[in-house]
Chain A
Amino acid sequence: MSMTKKSDAFLLRCTEFSFGHAKPLMPPLDWIVGKNELWAVIGENGSGKTTLMKSILGLMPKLDGLCELNASTRYISQIDQSERDVPQRVSDYVSRGLYDARSMWIPGYAILHRHRVKSSIEELDLSAVMHRQFEALSEGMKQRAKLAQALVSRPKLLFLDEATSAMDPVQTQKYYISLRSYLERESASCIVVSHHFMDISSYLTHALVFCDGNYVIGEIHDVMQNKSACALLKSGRYGHG
């Protein structure tokens, strides 16, 4: 296991971080995420990728260690089932991303910041459907709308958990082009859990690979050089490549 060397300006720093349900799924993790980085978390089903993400975000209890988030954060998972029965235009869905613990109390906040909603929608190429019902969109488009919803609050650190699972490779490429351009413009970073590693590998800067009960962590070309990580990544189970 190695720890990437970063400047002090970290967005996420985990120290001896242990996660799991009753017992640790992996050895304690040391991890630093800096600015303008796109990380992939790769591993087999049940290896603990989502558990790690949720433990870092406080959505489930950690077992030990420390994780510091030093940035405004947004979490994108698969579309919740309860979203499907809700009447909402794509623009309404995206504007919900504006609300956090402070802004939700400000009357008319979404109206005051509608330009941000519009630019997020344009960024994800959803302008043509912005007045359509969210429910009527294809699954791939819904996932793009979910990213637009997260980007509207201009977060500095994004967590994407299987956020492109319903997309074909072409849509996935477009999605990551939009994401990459956002990260560069805002000096933000993103951590992605995905099974489509080969589809997105060209956009990644770093990877954290769970293999054989341990981690391989570092810059993407270093990880690709690592024999055990490389075997997992090129086994054909993680993408179309």
Chain B
Amino acid sequence: MDNTASLAIFWENWEFFREAALAGVFAGVMLGVVGVYIVFKRLVFLSAALSQVSSAGIALGVWLLILVQGAAPLHDDVHMHEGAVDAGHTSFWWDFIFNPVIDAAILSLLAIAVIGYGQRRSGRDMSAFVALLYIAGASLTLILGTRIVTEIQDIQQLLLGNAVLVSPEDFRLMLIVSVATVLLHMVFRHGFEASTLDADSARVGGIRVDAMQFVLMLSIAISIAVATKILGALPVFSFSVLPAMAARRMSFNVASMLVFSALIGGISAFVGYVVAYLYAFPVGPSQAFVCLIWVMLVYVFHFLKIIRLRKV
């Protein structure tokens, strides 16, 4: 393959790829930011479980929609909504219940609420329950996938991520949610930081730790649910963990870690998309792999630094 020519073609057709490439970048930046707290709170596997639970929520939404109105493409929300209108169901609750993103967000929030409640009540490690959520999410997605025969490719896309193209509605949703999430994290940064790192001291200082943690977990659940719907579970898990891991080694404080993590997430999403285009790889795994290369490079550099310091 002539990569230079392909890259030139990519830029020539930028209008065509723009929404999918930029949706990945927005998701990478947003999940890079929330990923910092996922790493701090040691909820890495919760992020994996949530992306699977979100997939299950999306599959559930599609399945419910098919049950009541017949098959409709997963990525065509306008079509789905029109189908609902045709069927005479135009109420708020109809839109609410049969919206895959809403279903994904509700299931994610429920999962987070149960884990948060269990952790607060028992104070125990909830990793076994997180594993249960992961298995429940993944198996439910695959089981529902067999009932959404015409959408089986969409279900696979949901799990692996192959967002070659993104609908204008999904792009707008991604843009709004990512901008809102980043702004929220800028405004709440000190509250999130204090309540995550030293909850007792924060409480004594008058900070409403439970409210802060609720908002933080809400932002994690919504960002993972929306990004999973648009990009798929694998890149979402990668963006919510790997950029923060790499940024952790590059940063001198939390603010710089947030910036580095967002940059790594955004750059990885874009580079992954271009690599997938150039070599005809699936988009999601390519984006995840570029993230992984960041982490490997940063850790190799870190170990070389340690060896050099030991020699000195």
Contact = CB atoms under 8 A, between A and B. Distances in A.
Contacts of B254: 86-88, 92
Interface string A121-161: 00000000000010000000000000001100100000100
A144 B170 CA distance: 51
Given A86-B40, A101-B208, A75 B201 contact: yes
Given A86-B254, A87-B254, A88-B253, A58 B203 contact: yes
Interface in A79-138: 80, 82-83, 85-89, 92, 96, 99-105, 109, 133
A166 interface: no
A88 to B, nearest CB: 5
A80 B207 CA distance: 17
Interface residues of B, number: 27
Q: Is the interface of A mostly helix, strand, loop or mixed?
A: mixed
Contacts of A57: 200, 203-204
Interface residues of A, number: 32
Interface string B117-152: 000000000000000000000000000000000000
Interface string B164-203: 0000000000000000000000010011011011101101
Interface in B91-105: none
Given A74-B201, A87-B257, A96 B208 contact: no
A193 B201 CA distance: 16
A59 B207 CA distance: 12
B90 interface: no
Nearest to B257: A87
A57 B201 CA distance: 10
Nearest to A79: B198
B308 interface: no
Contact of B251 (A76, A83, A87, A103): A87
B197 A82 contact: yes
Contacts of B39: 85
Contacts of A87: 248, 251-254, 256-257
Interface of A: 54, 57-59, 73-77, 80, 82-83, 85-89, 92, 96, 99-105, 109, 133, 149-150, 153, 159
Given A57-B200, A89-B252, A96-B193, 18 more contacts: A57-B203, A59-B204, A74-B205, A77-B201, A82-B198, A86-B254, A87-B251, A87-B257, A88-B252, A92-B252, A92-B253, A92-B254, A99-B190, A99-B207, A100-B206, A101-B205, A101-B208, A103-B190
Interface of B: 39-42, 187, 190-191, 193-194, 196-198, 200-201, 203-208, 248, 251-254, 256-257
